[in-house]
Structure 1
Amino acid sequence: MPLINVIPGDKIPTAPFNVRLPVCRVPGWLLALWWLLRGLTRLTVLAVRYWWLTAPTVAAAWIRVRYGWPTLGAVVLVLTAVGVAWWRLHPSSWWRFGCYPLVGRWRRLWVYRRRWSSVMATCGLAMAFAGERYVPQLLAVRCDRFGDRVTVRMLPGQIPDDWGQAAERLAYAFRLRDGRAASAGRPDRVVLHFNRRDPLAATVAPLPVPEVPDLTGLALGVQEDGQLYQLRLAGSHVLIAGATNSGKGSVIWSLLRSLAGGIRSGLVEVWAFDPKGGMELAAGVPLFARFAYDDPDSMAGVLEEAVKRMRQRAARLRGVTRQHVPTADEPLLVLVVDELAALTAYITDRKVRDRIRESLGLLLSQGRAVGVHVIAALQDPRKDVLPFRDLFPTRIGLRMTEPEQADMVLGDGARDRGAVCDRIPETAPGVGYVVLDGRREPVRVRFSYLTDDDIRHLGREHRRLTPDTDESEVTR
């Protein structure tokens, strides 16, 4: 038998196969019955899914057929009167249980579901596998007066950070202001927060001063959903970062205003540090037990006194309790530093700078359990300026000049999760994002604004009722 020489790479010719698929003839009436059953099933599913539309329609049609138009008109008038009376007598429950649920269902149908598949595809959140396209499932839409909360079941392999990176594109695709993503408490779900209008556009007036400050929830301003924002100071230190005129003073004075009742009664003792020569904090001198400014060496000495006091308190509480409870004899010690970088990076005297860094490091690492808390503000969040920023469990990012600074202050990935500090307008001082230790999602807040007259009035009304308030004893 002769051998056939085949050159490597050449294709061997093959004869085509004649494949004939079997044909099954289906009667026309059976095919029509199949399509009819399929359509009825789909209509039933849609009627059940959109019961809030179908149920009133069926009820109105039944009343019309059974009792006629006059009865149907009377029923509509009665329901309208009940709704108006509910709205007038108790508007908060009307909006919460009557209006917003209907608005949410309508927006789910008309705004989101109508364009859901196309938006998921264009934003890169839909996937294809084995010839099939998979789209995340829209579960629920809840509305309030400011925006929408959209709950979505993610596809396998997706995480909330994937949705956080696409949240801005999703907001623009649905013709909304802005958006961010947050975990929903279940590993397969994510909640998208979209704003229709900004609840933080207006300046927040000074909040009432409580008689006894609640250290687990100090009222400081208004958050994105329009509710009062409360910050937990107990067991925490607070870092405030932002550019010039971003509203750092609003955060500091809002905190001091919430603590003013405790300052007056002696449960809270504030030591203030103002490296700018006292320009920022001098208006609140009556509130301070110690006020250090202008001289770096004296400020280093006051910080060393705070460390000494912290160690003495720790020695007294050792074996007695693991968490300090403020009393008039053992008050909560709050150290307020207006421009931290001036103490940790800009001092030319290396020995003084090292003393300050050492004291701050000890206070931040050991002070929380014994009731010594640091509230620090700065403009430059670089690591060489603030080497121990990771010791602040509570971080507040106000308006910043560069996108990377949000991650420097609030943690890696904070900007992708919605903390766009570089996009806060200059016309909105006091607006910022708060990140708490153990919680990934930032909270958008506008802190209350106190004028100079408000601060002076606060100092007169809530000055310390002890001999320590004599201004002759102010540390210079």
Structure 2
Amino acid sequence: MPLINVIPGEKIPTAPLNTRLPIWRIPGWLLLFVWLARGTARSVVLTVRYWWITGPAFAGAWVSGSYGWKVALGVALVLIVAGCTWWRLHPSTWLRFGWYPVVGRVRRLWVYRRGWTAAMTACGLVGVHGGGRWVPRLLTVRSNKWGDRVTVRLLPGQHPDDWATAAPRLAYTFCLREARAFTTDRPDRMVLHFVRRDPLAALVGPLPVPEVPDFAGLALGVREDGDPYRLRLTGSHVLIAGATNSGKGSVVWSLLRSMAAGIASGVVEVWAFDPKGGMELAAGGPLFARFAYDDPDSMAGVLEEAVKRMKSRAARLRGLTRQHVPTADDPLIVIVIDELAALTAYLTDRKVRDRIKESLSLLLSQGRAVGIRVVAALQDPRKDVLPFRDLFPTRIALRLTEPEQCDLVLGDGARDRGALCDEIPETMPGIGYVVLDGVREPVRVRFSYLNDDDIAELAVMYPRPQIGGDR
């Protein structure tokens, strides 16, 4: 089978070698026929490939030739008026189905296709097969308000990490702000997300409180593609890491706000721990079923109480169900710890520290099935500070001080795949990257910000029920 049929890419033309070949005399009419056939075939291919250009052009030429240029102009004006009416009456569908598909096709032809071979060559994404050079095939470009999603087909021997490493260079090559690479359901394809405008540049205000919290998708902020970011709390503990003033409080309060209706109805119990004397979480006191902030010994006692409730609930549910379903009689328990390192690494009392570590290890390893979730925030993500970091399936990394900390929080290779936590500006708190177990690529998010008035209003409007307990 010829090589050109098995390489899923486009071959780069190469100049022929300067060799002496036998002279074949070809009649002029035959050579002209070959050129004509080749030009016709290429014209047909280009006509079909760029139908969105050739179709309207042929239709306009046919109308103009059959009915005159005035009729063609009238048809064009009617289409323009219809498009403007659609835009005014329903702008969201106009942008989605009318404008952005055209923008994507134009940018594919004018921005990406025009310099594709040069960009692939400069960024080291060209493959060599059978003595020829091949470039990955550019498949589709989908545009929106914020950027472009470019789908490409990988060459044999390429790995998704190759594209993740080359993505920043591709952004500069195409004169865009940022680029990141994502895998797809098909192993032979990659999606490059090029950013033209940053949807996370503006502050995200408090999000609406849902009447019934959806624990499979709690809205906490905005993703880099402009869509809402939803945290999956079912079956997942959450680790939040970030430097001082990076926005850890934004994540915690956004989570509490999204669960506020469940807290008020008794479906959710929040046990809060604030080792900084209650400075961060005291404003939400009415929301909490337990609030420990006085001394480490009392915090260790509350955690041990959580372990007892976990074991009693497991004994009660054993043989009945494999996954706890929150109800007002049997609520979901969410343990929120503001500064985890203060309990696991910085305590001078070794006995209290060991009690806390033991309780947290049990809660993290056994609590998910019986409806207990741990949400912990810390500044120092080193292994000796947080020895059970791997027990947090969901990890959120805000602004960090060192490049190595990105991989400590999100996993090996996360920074190479685009999680540039150390490059987040100090002037943009609340921006971070989220990684889930089993998902390679980190997601860039800006969490909503709640000021003191918003927190006070939340505590007044959604207080916990006065009668609680594990029923």
Matched, 1:313 2:313: yes
Report deviation, 1:23.
3.1
Q: For residues 408 and 421 of structure 1, what CA distance do their matches in structure 2 show? A: 11
Deviation at 1:39, TM superposition (A): 1.4
3-state SS, counterpart of residue 263 of structure 2: helix
Aligned to 1:201: 201
The AA in structure 2 aligned to 1:220 is: L
Tell whether 2:150 aligns with 1:127: no
1:377-392 map, 5 Å: 377-392=377-392
| Pair 1:170-2:153 in alignment | no
Cα distance in structure 2, aligned partners of 1:423 and 1:430: 13
Structure 2 counterpart SS, 1:114? coil
In structure 1, the partner of 2:301 is 301
Q: Which has the larger radius of gyration?
A: 1
Q: Please identify, of 236-245 and 398-407, the stretch whose mean Cα deviation from structure 2 is larger.
A: 398-407
CA distance in 1, matches of 2:206, 2:393: 25
Please give the secondary structure, in 2, of the residue aligned with 1:46: helix
Partners of 2:289 and 2:453 in 1: how far apart? 21
Q: Deviations over 1:375-427 (max 9, x none)?
A: 00001111010011100011111111111111111111111222111111111
**Unpaired stretches in structure 1, ≥5 consecutive residues:** 1-18, 470-476
The answer for the alignment partner of 1:32 in structure 2 is 32
Partner of 1:187: 187
The count of aligned residue pairs is 451
Instruction: Give me the whole-angstrom Cα distance separating, in 1, the residues matched to 2:20 and 2:440.
Output: 60
Partner of 1:250: 250
One-letter amino acid of the counterpart of residue 128, structure 2: A
Q: CA deviation at 1:158?
A: 0.8
1:461 equivalent in alignment to 2:461: yes
CA apart distance, 1:467: 4.5
Structure 2: distance between partners of 1:271 and 1:130: 64
Number of the residue aligned with 1:406:
406
Aligned equivalent of 2:280:
280
Amino acid of the structure 2 residue aligned with 1:188: D
Change (3 A) 1:374 1:20: closer
Deviation, structure 1 residue 211: 2.2
Quote the offset at 1:20 in angstroms.
Answer: 8.3
CA contact (8 A) 2:266 2:468 kept: no
C-alpha RMSD over aligned residues? 1.4
- Which residue matches 1:445? 445
Distance in 1, matches of 2:213 and 2:169, equals: 42
Q: Hey, what's the Cα distance between the residues in 1 that align with 2:146 and 2:216?
A: 27
Greater Cα offset, 221-230 or 146-155: 221-230
**Alpha-carbon distance, 1:35 to partner:** 1.5
Equivalent residue number for residue 140 of structure 2: 140
Distance 2:238 2:226 in 1: 23
**What per-residue deviation string (whole Å, max 9, x for no partner) do you get for residues 130-184 of structure 1?**
3211100000000001000000001001121110111110111011110101112
Q: How far apart are the structure 2 equivalents of 1:217 and 1:21?
A: 69
* Aligned: 1:416 with 2:383: no
Deviates more, 1:300-309 or 1:124-133: 124-133
Q: 1:135 is paired with a residue of what secondary structure? A: strand
Q: Please give the secondary structure, in 1, of the residue aligned with 2:25.
A: coil
Q: Give the Cα separation in 2 of the matches to 1:312 and 1:114.
A: 66
Identity fraction in percent: 73
State the AA in 2 paired with 1:332: L
Inter-partner Cα distance in structure 1 for 2:82 and 2:123? 44
CA distance in structure 2 between the partners assigned to 1:104 and 1:211 by the alignment: 38
Question: Structure 1: which amino acid aligns with 2:321?
Answer: T
Looking at structure 2, the residues matched to 463 and 20 of structure 1 have their Cα atoms a distance apart, in angstroms, of: 90
Q: Equivalent residue of 2:115, what SS?
A: helix
Other-structure match for 1:12: none
Residue 384 of structure 2 aligns to a residue in which SS?
A: coil
SS class of match (2:334): strand
| TM-score of the aligned structures, taking structure 1 as reference length | 0.93
For 2:20 and 2:234, locate their aligned partners in 1 and report how far apart those are by CA, in whole Å. Answer: 79
Q: Aligned runs of 1:226-375 on 2, under 5 Å?
A: 226-375=226-375
Following the alignment from structure 1 to structure 2, what is the Cα–Cα distance between the partners of residues 337 and 40?
70
SS of residue in 1 equivalent to 2:139: strand
For 1:431-473, what per-residue CA distance to the aligned partner results, in whole angstroms no more than 9, with x for missing partners? 111111111121111111000111111111111121469xxxx
Using a 3 Å threshold, how does the CA distance of structure 1 residues 20 and 137 change in structure 2: closer, same or farther?
Answer: closer
Q: Using the alignment, how far apart are the partners of 2:210 and 2:129 within structure 1?
A: 59
What does residue range 36-75 of structure 1 map to in structure 2 within 5 Å? Answer: 36-75=36-75
Range with bigger deviation, 203-212 or 108-117: 203-212
Query: Secondary structure in 1 aligned to 2:230?
Result: strand
Q: What is the one-letter code of the residue matched to 1:52? A: W
Q: Is the 8 A contact 2:274 2:293 kept in 1?
A: yes
For 1:11, the equivalent position in structure 2 comes to none
Q: What residue identity is the alignment partner of 1:160? A: P
Alignment deviations for residues 261-286 of structure 1 (CA, whole Å, 9 cap, x no partner): 11111111111111111111111111
Say which SS state the counterpart of residue 181 (structure 1) adopts: strand
Measured after TM superposition, the shift of residue 257 of structure 1 is: 0.6
Equivalent residue, structure 2, for 1:9: none
- The amino acid that maps onto 1:406 is C
TM-score (norm 2): 0.94
Aligned amino acid, residue 277 of structure 2: G
Residue of structure 2 equivalent to 1:152: 152
Aligned to 1:5: none
Q: Letter of the 1:329 partner, please give it.
A: D
Off by >6 Å, runs of 4+ in structure 1: none
User: Partners in 1 of 2:102 and 2:73 — Cα distance?
Assistant: 22
Deviation track 1:99-156 (CA, whole Å, cap 9, x = no partner) reads: 0000000000000000000000000001223321110000000000100000000100
Q: CA deviation at 1:260?
A: 1.0
Q: In structure 2, how many angstroms separate the alpha carbons of the residues matched to 1:328 and 1:47?
A: 64
Matched with 2:3 is none
* 113 and 75 in structure 1: CA distance in 2 versus 1, 3 angstrom threshold: same
Letter in 1 for 2:147: G
Q: Secondary structure at the match of 1:235?
A: coil
